[in-house]
Structure 1
């Protein structure tokens, strides 16, 4: 059965993901599937917990979903040297029907491994820095709605309950 994106409040989204111990063919296949799911759902980033796999693996492609020119897969990503502050509007494939402004670091450094087991080091800013923070948050069981005010969160929760109730009545 093909994987699909799990949505809030699925408990896997609130769980800290386990490190990838070995890069196997299954991990490579998962990464390829995650890229396809990300593109199909019009995203630019996806973390393994979003497809119910609680491991430290993310995919990012800022040229997506249409061009698909710059896909990245990061295994066990670690962010460091977070600097500056920027506000941007975010949404999430796992948080249905909601976008809001979130504060993030403006610049950062990424350390990870690629699918060949080689180390990856990258400095990122702008949208790439925001996207990396968003996806790595998923690996730590944090959603962007965990970073917003209680009022905005409560309004979203009410909207979601109403939407789920209407969906179940159909």
Structure 2
């Protein structure tokens, strides 16, 4: 399991940050778990309000994340899931999402929470979705990482 060695961090006050979440619509149960984890992380870090945008799939995450970053959000959390099938579709979508979200982060100097599950099986996705019985909570982790990164960027900018 990839969660071995994950850092433990104390929540910090991020109540002054503007946060947006963009979430894919495929795999409803997994996405519900990721979104619940995101909400928990926002609450833990003191973020009372956030904007949520839904998109059809993981491929569409970067363009909406870019639009949100252009509106001045300090952090954008991108949530999605891609499960390997029998065609190269998996590689194309995963690569496009990863490259696109990286470009958004660098082009806008905005914190991006990478909450995109790239799994071989449904079971792996459920294990990472933060659902009851899951081994990991990637929605929480991606959101916490975005908030801490946004906090660092804000401090650097003064």
Provide the TM-score with structure 2 as the length reference: 0.24
Which gives a bigger RCO, structure 1 or 2 (Cα 8 Å, sep 6+)?
A: 2
Higher strand share: 1
Bigger radius of gyration: 1
Provide the TM-score with structure 1 as the length reference: 0.23
Higher helix share: 2
